[in-house]
A = this chain, B = another copy of it.
């Protein structure tokens, strides 16, 4: 028996923890660069927080239903006093709240920050539901108060961010929870949480099923159910919102805020849609969801958020209202690549491959590569002296667009081959500045 083959541990992909081949990673990088550029163009600064928080911090508002991963060391040192229990963050909002509370005196408010990091959730993985994924968030935090103008800035930024990703038409849908909550109050229904959580299901299960639940589970009468469903049907611009007749102060506030936001968002980027309520009770005013109108396979919201009254109340005795919105980046990337909507990028960043015809010419070829790099180009020197055909094959296989022949003859002419067209000729000094 041959024992040539060693026993190896053949690694498998880990479900819910995606990774990409270089040509898809190149697209992911391009997308993240674009998002960063847009966020910075509106003055948002970058922060990063550790991957972990103390478990107490994550659970400061009570047990959270996200599946949290806690850390244990393989070998714990028995002499060391035990560490705080650390857990991987499951979003970037809790870490932001902790960061703002901890560094309060060193930040300038309103504090505008973006954050693009991986987060972890121990959920059962499926397409579009991952255990490790990037979120790309922007938030603005004020002290004591925060102007409503920021509620209009969120969708403006995200519309620009998402439309730059070549994902077809993007529609931000905006509502204000005060309108529905005001109506619920006016109708004399005590359990407002049950109503908003049920209305939140309209897009998934439809009007009839929601009406049924409102009757059976919340105990609402037909007239009240009708009032709620009629409200949730309202869609349109600032004018459509102004046409609503508020039935109390809370509803009036919601209408006025939403009308302001709709009048301030860029034309064509967003509609008001009162069926949007967001499940989280956390939000106190404006709420957002975002639809990709041209990609039916992508269901649900690609970018969501809202206004919250008190960001960091669990960690600091200051009143810090905020508004934020978040792209589920890897979910979007995963679903789009699954359905073939993402065209792979280059396998490597190399723009020019410099030919190495023989070991003797290494210094000369290497100097040419260095010169081209100084011109801002990404340049590889072929790694071993081999026949030129083999070097061309390498360029082809890696998708390198140009192959460069340094002046190895007395005439001193550089030649370039354009791999796409096949044309080869002297390097035009105006183009290549060499």
A75 at the interface (CB under 8 A from B): yes
Among the stretches A13-21, A280-288, A300-308, A411-419, the one at the interface with B is: A13-21
How many chain copies does the complex carry?
A: 2
Contact A69 B73, beta carbon cutoff 8 Å? yes
Q: If the complex has contacts A22-B45, A317-B8, are A120 and B51 also in contact, measured as CB distance less than 8 A?
A: yes
The chain B residue sitting closest to A373, CB to CB, is B41
A192 at the interface (CB under 8 A from B): no
A404 at the interface (CB under 8 A from B): no
Chain B residues lying within 8 Å of A44, measured Cβ to Cβ, are 348-349
Chain B residues lying within 8 Å of A17, measured Cβ to Cβ, are 50-52
A299 at the interface (CB under 8 A from B): no
Among the stretches A96-104, A167-175, A227-235, A334-342, the one at the interface with B is: A96-104
The chain B residue sitting closest to A313, CB to CB, is B6
A316 at the interface (CB under 8 A from B): yes
Report the contact-size class of chain A (Cβ under 8 Å from the partner). 35 or more
The chain B residue sitting closest to A376, CB to CB, is B41
A220 at the interface (CB under 8 A from B): no
In the assembled complex, the Cα of A50 lies from the Cα of B51 at a distance in Å of 13
Among A1-39, those with CB < 8 Å from B are 5-6, 8-14, 17-22, 25-26, 28-29
Chain B residues lying within 8 Å of A56, measured Cβ to Cβ, are 9
A388 at the interface (CB under 8 A from B): no
A226 at the interface (CB under 8 A from B): no
Contact A52 B384, beta carbon cutoff 8 Å? no
In the assembled complex, the Cα of A21 lies from the Cα of B29 at a distance in Å of 24
Chain B residues lying within 8 Å of A28, measured Cβ to Cβ, are 48
A426 at the interface (CB under 8 A from B): no
Contact of A50 among B41, B72, B132, B149 (CB under 8 A): B132
Chain B residues lying within 8 Å of A350, measured Cβ to Cβ, are 43
In the assembled complex, the Cα of A147 lies from the Cα of B382 at a distance in Å of 10
In the assembled complex, the Cα of A315 lies from the Cα of B51 at a distance in Å of 28
In the assembled complex, the Cα of A311 lies from the Cα of B80 at a distance in Å of 35
Chain B residues lying within 8 Å of A29, measured Cβ to Cβ, are 46
Q: List 30 A-B contacts (CB under 8 A).
A: A8-B317, A9-B56, A9-B315, A12-B102, A13-B102, A14-B54, A14-B86, A17-B51, A19-B47, A19-B48, A21-B103, A22-B113, A25-B47, A40-B378, A41-B373, A43-B348, A45-B347, A45-B348, A50-B132, A55-B74, A69-B74, A73-B122, A108-B348, A108-B394, A112-B348, A147-B384, A149-B383, A149-B384, A150-B383, A266-B370
